[in-house]
Structure 1
Amino acid sequence: MCWSATADLVAGTGIAVIGAACVARVRRVRDLPLAALPLLLGAHQIIESVIWRSGGGTGPATLAWAVIALPVLPLWVALGVLCAAPPQARRRLLIPIVAAVATAVPLAYSLATRPVTAEIRGHTLGYALDLPRSGLLVTGYLLATVGALLLSGDPVLRSLGALAAVGAVVCAALWRLESVSTWCAFAAVCSVILLVRTRPDPVPEP
């Protein structure tokens, strides 16, 4: 997520503040799940700052990080997009919803039956969990998250999906090099986009 405990803590706190502002500005109940997404992302990074400071390994913080990252996030994004999307887009969003469920269930089962560990690798944290059919799970995960945003029928959410796709590629490449983890920067930008989406409509002049 970020390259150090301090970076995770600062970024997580800032993103959570943006999330609180998004929730406060929501005008439609059906927009609430997506508006609250930065709160989840912020909490996720704050949890990772605890993992950094503990030197990695197993434990409640590592498990909490994995639960949010693996089964919770694809379901949250897919359902949030379904709630916020215009009616004409909801039928095609059933595909990401099915992908989210099909991905989250085996991920949750793996977390319940197998240990997850974190390891500090330079300026990144690596997480290890024995996953069956990991390629299929990654495909389903991306369809549930990036795919849902791209299929949303909402111009702002489509832009968010494109940004998330680029961010996933860039962050994965840097993470594999074990040079630096940059997902927190993309999470911050995505949170700002959601904040813009929840801005109040301008008051018409009399």
Structure 2
Amino acid sequence: MCFSVEADVVAGVALLPVAALSLREVRHVREVPFAALPLLFAIHQLTEALVWAGLDGDVSANVQKTAALAYVLFAFPVLPTLVPTAVLLLEPRGARLRVAPFVALGLVVSAYLAYVVLRGPLVVEEHDHAVVYRIGLEHGMFWAVLYILATVGPALLSGYPSIVAFGALNLVGLSLVALVYQEAFASLWCVLAALLSVLVLLHMRLRRRLPDPHRLHGQPLEPVG
């Protein structure tokens, strides 16, 4: 399927009920960042629909510029810190230390990418049915590797199989996009991550089975038998 304004709208709208169901499962404030990922990805896809509309001449240049900046700020500076933080908050207290280094890495990646994005210029163009966001990033592959480590590493180390699956599938997608279509890295991976965020809902549903001391207070699970 060719990526287009219609594709982004369909993806964004389709995620809204997933987002609502995911947030409905929240029982503690620590669960909010992770449960909110489908909603944030839905808004993100709808934002890119405005970028596409600008490329097609259907909205003003100012609207497109604002939408593109919002899209890039979420994709580059926000996600490398948001995702590891969301995973860390779900882990029981004894397991958070293994995720904490990825939060620190995410902060470094986020800070540098925020500087690059805000420094500008931001150039948006269509290339092979995808939106390319050029932010003037030097050593792109190096930062792509750090980005992948920050966003995927915590999920792969999670104690919850559903979050590990979320991380593993994102790792495959991120790696393929970085290697095959680096120019449209932000646009294509965010589509993939949005679709995979249905696994966020799966995890939130599975959290119903967790005992309250673990889910609400972060206590480690008692060994069985």
> Shorter-chain-normalised TM-score: which range?
0.7 to 0.9
- Structure 1: gaps (5+ residues): none
Q: Deviation at 1:29?
A: 2.2
2:61 aligned with 1:59, yes or no? no
Residue pairs, 1:124-163, within 5 angstroms = 124-163=130-169
Query: Is 1:68 matched up with 2:84?
Result: no
> Aligned equivalents of 1:176 and 1:128: distance in 2?
11
SS in structure 2 at match of 1:126: strand
The number of aligned residues is 199
1:196 matched to 2:218: no
Deviations 1:25-57 (A, max 9, x none): 112321110000111111111111111111188
Q: Which residue of 2 aligns with 1:22?
A: 22
1:22-101 matches, cutoff 5 A = 22-55=22-55, 59-101=65-107
Query: Residues of 2 paired with 1:112 and 1:184: CA distance?
Result: 20
Which range moves more in the overlay, 187-196 or 114-123? Answer: 187-196
CA positional deviation for 1:89: 1.8
| CA shift in 2, pair 1:185/1:108, >3 Å | closer
Higher relative contact order (CA 8 A, sep 6+): 1
Q: Which moved more, 1:99-108 or 1:133-142?
A: 133-142
Q: Deviations over 1:82-125 (max 9, x none)?
A: 10112222111121011101100011111221111111113111
Deviates more, 1:186-195 or 1:140-149: 186-195
The Cα shift of 1:186 comes to: 2.8
SS of residue in 2 equivalent to 1:120: strand
Counterpart residue type for residue 61 of structure 1: A
Change (3 A) 1:104 1:153: same
Root-mean-square deviation (Å)? 2.3
Superposition map of 1:103-182 within 5 A? 103-172=109-178, 175=181
Q: Distance in 2 between matches of 1:32 and 1:128?
A: 32
TM-score by length of 1: 0.87
2: CA distance, partners of 1:190 / 1:117: 28
C-alpha distance in 1 between matches for 2:108 and 2:141:
13
More helix by share: 2
Contact 2:48-2:71 at 8 Å conserved across structures:
yes
Counterpart Cα distance in 2 of 1:174 and 1:141: 16
Assess if the C-alpha contact under 8 Å between 2:148 and 2:174 holds in 1: no
C-alpha deviations, 1:176-199, integer Å up to 9, x for none?
Answer: 598xx7546633442211111111
Q: Which amino acid aligns with 1:175?
A: Y
1:124/1:175 contact within 8 Å kept? no
Unmatched 5+ stretches in structure 2 = 210-225
Tell me the SS of whatever aligns to 1:118: strand
- Give the residue type in structure 2 aligned to 1:32: V
Counterpart secondary structure, 1:119: strand
Separation in structure 2 between the aligned mates of residue 168 and residue 120 of structure 1, nearest angstrom? 20
